[in-house]
Amino acid sequence: MALLELERVNTFIGSVQVLRDISINVDKGEIVCLVGRNGAGKTSTIKTIMGLLRPKSGTIRFKDEDITDLPPYRRARLGIGLAPDYRGIFTDLTVEENLQFPKWVIKRNRNQSGSNIEKEVHAIFPELDRLRKREGLVLSGGEGKMVATARALMLNPELLLLDEPLEGLAPIVLVRFAERIKKIREALGIAILLAESNIAHASRVADRIYVVERGEIVYGGSVEDVSRDEQLNRLVRGF
């Protein structure tokens, strides 16, 4: 049974249709990547899953529950964590406060066995310790991605959404960060859905990919298959 399931989802922004009949699923413990060119609809898909965009039709199921009409905060509390493409770090708050943020919120609402998540997250991202007192404003791009990802994990989610986690990272950092993503799954056993425009990056982490083009899923399967299909390859690369 899939952890997350989108069925024929159509999403509009204003009068522009950005997602057409999107049907995807993510299983427990799986790392799935949405691949597509700029403007293909990756972010829109992730936002629709998070509830930031409401589909006009179609259903979204999470843990067998229809969450199509739930607001984002309810989805977060159900176990979907998001690190958005723009990172979304609260610049007024320190790194420590950014990380504690989900705990403060959730503590007021549900009591989850989130006590050791903090330790796990710090084990995955040991650099966080050094950044604790830093203000959100003065983080580098890579540090920001790390904090955003760690913060989403602090929600203790069962599905982690990462929008372009590897974009703009220096080659060495990129490799390290990709390893971290895999480590997240190893340590926490959660599913991860990420979006990437670079298929080579995607291939470093994903078990499975979906290729998105003009708001449609044009392919779903293993990374190797895409690499072999010249037409798909060109589509994803854009040349």
Partner 1 sequence: MDPETVVIIILNGMFYALSLFLITIGLNILYGFMKVLNIAHGGLYATGAFLTWALMNTAAKAGYPIYILWLCIPVGAFLVGLLALVIEPLLFKRLYRLREEYSLLATFGLMLVFDDSLRMIFGGSPLSANQLYNWMGTLTILGKSYPTYNFVIYAFAIAVALGLWIFFFKTKMGRILRGTAQDREMSACLGVNVSILYTETFFLAVFIAGLGGAIYLPATNAYSGMGFEPIVLSFAVMIIGGLGSLKGALVAASMIGLVRAFGIALMPELELAVVFLILIITLIVRPRGLFGKKFTREEK
Strands 159-163 and 55-62: unpaired
Q: Report the partner that residue 41 touches, choosing among partner 1, ligand ATP, Mg ion, none (CB closer than 5 to 8 A by kind).
A: ligand ATP
Q: Interacting stretch for ligand ATP, rule CB under 6 A, among 23-31, 41-49, 95-103, 115-123? A: 41-49
List the x/- string, 147-186, binding to partner 1 by CB under 8 A: ----xx--x-------------------------------
Which member of 3, 4, 33, 43 binds Mg ion (CB under 5 A)? 43
Helix runs in the chain, H state only: 42-50, 72-78, 95-107, 117-124, 128-131, 141-153, 171-188, 199-205, 223-228, 230-237
Which member of 25, 43, 149, 156 binds ligand ATP (CB under 6 A)? 43
Instruction: From 6, 116, 109, select the one nearest 50 (Cα to Cα).
Output: 6
CB 47 within 8 A of CB 36: no
Q: Interacting stretch for Mg ion, rule CB under 5 A, among 56-64, 84-92, 110-118, 141-149? A: 84-92
Exposed, middle or buried, 191 (CB in 10 Å: 0-12/13-18/19+)? buried
| Residues contributing to the site for partner 1 (CB under 8 A) | 50-52, 71-73, 76-77, 81-82, 84, 86-93, 97-98, 100-102, 104-109, 137, 144, 151-152, 155
Where does this chain bind ligand ATP (CB under 6 A)? 13-14, 16, 18, 36, 38-44, 85, 197
